[in-house]
A and B are shown apart, each in its own frame.
Chain A
Amino acid sequence: MTQPTPDVIEVAKDALYREAGLWDEQVGRLSDCAFQAEHSIIDLYDVVQFNDFLTGYNEVTRVFARLCTQGSLVTRDVAQTLRTVANTYEETDDSLRAQFDHH
């Protein structure tokens, strides 16, 4: 079975790097969402009817912010994993090429 040509490998590695960049963009977006949620807590007012609604709302908002923060960390991991895969492939590719050139 023939190996993919170097330019095909190059394009494939570039796809991994670009896709890692795409995940990085989502890290930023999720961090923004977490920030927005954290700043959407409404201090309890001394109101007759809406304090329990606000208590529930604030609780949901905190959970939401926490999920977004976790999401940003997970997407960062995904981006990092894709870069690791691309780097590993690149190193392997370089190593194989060096062996080929040597022979």
Chain B
Amino acid sequence: MAYSIRDHIESYEMVLARVHTLHARLRDELIPRVAGLATAPLGFVLPPIVTASIRASLQSALETLRYIESRVELHLWSGPLPIRMQINADAWTSVSTAASVIAGDLRWENRPVPARWRGLAADTYEQRVVPGQIAAATQLGAAAQAIAVALNWVAMSVMLFFAGLLALLAQLLAIGAGAVATFASGLGIPAALMALGASIPMIATQVAVLTTVAAEGHGRAQTFLADMRTKVLDGSEFPNGRWPYPEPARYNDATVSDGDPSDWVVIR
């Protein structure tokens, strides 16, 4: 069965909803619990230096968690963007197809006039007017295709970013919840601190790497943008940024009463 754009968008919406859920759990459950542990009295007696060290570790983990949470929240703003981009990319592909149909319909073999008319005006029409319009329609199709490719590419890169983010958040919450439970029980504090002190910063680094990859994706998007501009603003097909305008006076003379023969001559 073909994997439609709707299936693709639905899959992404599920990923996005899950990221929202996990982000909320991070913000509303894990962070308050780690904050609680970092400030509440420890339920057991330890040398002050050890207590201070534990508190420092918890505080550091808390800051890292808050950093991750703020980054995720920031990125969630762009969550709906790829959906709109994919829908638009699909529309641009249709526009590109329509432009190709226009260019195809205007080809010599698909028009009735070339087989029936000759003469100065007919020649101008065939050699100057029609080719300019076909070239413009062809360029339009290429531009629409370039826009569709750019939108698809950017959408995919954002979607992949969120898929990666979802995996990291799931990992983070599992580690965090496990460590908090272990810590609160008072058993296995070193293991819990190891999880909070080492694993969480590692995930923070991975989130930062993911963000960097997304930033590189943005750089590539700029290249696509330049390509779109080049095609839409192509000066050879769209002189002065305008659709080529064939002056009707160059090929509209069918009169025989103006002193010269008609510029449209029937082929016998």
Contacts and interface: CB of A to CB of B under 8 A. Distances in A.
Interface of A: 4-5, 8-9, 11-12, 14-16, 18-19, 22, 25-26, 29-30, 32-33, 36-37, 39-40, 42, 45-50, 52-53, 56-57, 60-61, 63-64, 67-68, 70-71, 73-75, 77-78, 80-82, 84-86, 88-89, 92
Contacts of A4: 266, 268
B246 interface: yes
Interface string B237-268: 01001111110100110111100001010111
A35 to B, nearest CB: 10
A49 B233 contact: no
Contacts of A70: 242-243, 245
A44 to B, nearest CB: 10
B228 A60 contact: yes
Given A8-B266, A60-B232, 18 more contacts: A15-B112, A16-B113, A26-B105, A26-B106, A29-B98, A40-B88, A45-B77, A52-B222, A56-B225, A56-B229, A67-B232, A70-B243, A74-B243, A74-B244, A78-B129, A85-B254, A88-B255, A92-B255
Contacts, number: 163
Interface in B70-109: 74-75, 77-78, 80-81, 84-85, 88, 91-92, 94-95, 98-99, 101-102, 105-106
Nearest to B89: A40
B116 interface: yes
Nearest to B217: A49
Given A45-B81, A50-B221, A74-B133, A18 B112 contact: yes
A71 B262 CA distance: 28
Given A4-B268, A8-B266, A81-B252, A53 B113 contact: no
Contacts of A18: 112
A57 B155 CA distance: 13
B159 interface: no
Given A36-B91, A81-B252, A74 B78 contact: no
B75 A48 contact: yes
B140 interface: yes
Given A15-B116, A46-B77, A9 B266 contact: yes
Interface of B: 74-75, 77-78, 80-81, 84-85, 88, 91-92, 94-95, 98-99, 101-102, 105-106, 110-113, 115-117, 121, 129, 133, 136-137, 140, 143-144, 147, 150-151, 154, 158, 214-215, 218, 221-222, 225, 228-229, 232-233, 238, 241-246, 248, 251-252, 254-257, 262, 264, 266-268
Q: Would you list the 10 A-B pairs with minimal beta carbon distance, nearest first?
A: A70-B243, A47-B78, A15-B112, A88-B254, A15-B116, A12-B116, A85-B254, A56-B225, A81-B248, A12-B266
A40 B225 contact: no
Contacts of B121: 85
A50 B218 CA distance: 7
A26 B133 CA distance: 10
A32 B215 CA distance: 35
